[in-house]
Chain A
């Protein structure tokens, strides 16, 4: 049984194969109903719009049907049921589980108790492999994944998308630039693991120091919900803002990505520039998640 829990479980060959599969699905345009008759539980115990709708859409395009729980209040977890019991029971109703949960490690725990495949749709500040795969897919649409300079901007301390993406990119020949305020720098353990994996990581605090040397700029939201109080959030909330002016001397091939939602990091005037690929990135979630669902269920 195949689970998709962490991007760290994937080697380069597996990532490339999944991206290729997603590309084929996208090229087909109309989709084969390979999951007809299959049920998937979408257990979303943390708010999410894009990921939940994207998985629902991907599943529907493959002919499968969702059963959805979209809040803790709407589930027996509010009565004190453990996640372990929930997934044990839900496993007997469905053919796969897609889980979003506020606790780090929740998807791994779910995979230990489920009798059907589990796909991690984001666990706390931990892993978000489907987001990472669609990030890689979008980069690959625009340039090779080797020999590039990638900047990770914003909340690199709590931002799971940046964590996952950096691990995934460690399979390729990239130079990583982290750009974050001191209080939101990449955790030391994460940095040392990246270095152990042979990635060249260069740390910055100012975007202007490095933006003109980048092929990919991956901006992330400074997440209010991960801060202990509003004062510590306010101190860093508006550190970075990308405007057309910020991008005036960048490399011609630069692509600007963002996992969305954005909260002021990218001004709306940037949307019309050729660098802006974040809406395309969100759209790419469909073929990538279709490939993931097929991967674990067929």
Chain B
């Protein structure tokens, strides 16, 4: 039996026809990326996940490929919070038609749950949570609470 092309070229996971490839995810964060995109074990999407693979820019990285799904701006913002060096490639007909570098926005609306139970944004009010990003920490503009660690667990 002949060796498949992708294996010859050292590809760990096969190319996708349409969808999104999220590359250069910080090693160990691939499953968190899926979680914040709302993708669970019961998904019907076709997924490929590679963890701890060799990277040219950092020692190790994770890669996620999702067929037939293109990410929204909100999704990109969320990914930026936990994988600030990630690149997002939108694939159509096996070709990269758009390459997006993630960038943590200055203001995050409705993306983070405030960890302060006394914060008004955790009440039944018709508002989105509102955080400004300062030096990689998240500052709640309603209650002044600062979230500096475990950010993945606060993403809505």
Contact = CB atoms under 8 A, between A and B. Distances in A.
- The interface size bin for chain B is 20 to 34
A84 B124 CA distance: 10
Is chain A's interface secondary structure helix, strand, loop, or mixed overall? mixed
A276 interface: no
B118 A124 contact: yes
A82 B140 CA distance: 20
Interface stretch (B65-73, B83-91, B142-150): B142-150
A108 B142 contact: yes
Given A102-B118, A103-B120, A109-B120, A82 B126 contact: yes
A103 B124 contact: no
A108 B120 CA distance: 9
A173 interface: no
Interface in B109-126: 116, 118-121, 123-126
A201 interface: no
Is chain B's interface secondary structure helix, strand, loop, or mixed overall? loop
B125 A109 contact: yes
B127 A189 contact: no
A104 B144 contact: yes
B124 A105 contact: no
Contacts of A80: 124
Interface residues of A, number: 23
Q: Which of A112, A124, A189 has the most CB of B within 10 A?
A: A189
B141 A103 contact: no
A123 B140 CA distance: 15
Nearest to A103: B120
Interface in A69-110: 80, 82-84, 101-106, 108-109
A125 interface: yes
A102 to B, nearest CB: 7
A109 B148 contact: no
29 contacts: A80-B124, A83-B120, A83-B123, A84-B125, A103-B118, A103-B119, A103-B120, A103-B123, A103-B143, A104-B116, A104-B118, A104-B145, A105-B119, A105-B121, A105-B142, A106-B120, A108-B141, A108-B142, A109-B125, A112-B127, A124-B143, A125-B118, A126-B144, A127-B144, A163-B144, A189-B144, A189-B145, A189-B148, A190-B144
A-B residue pairs, 3 tightest by C-beta: A105-B142, A189-B146, A104-B143
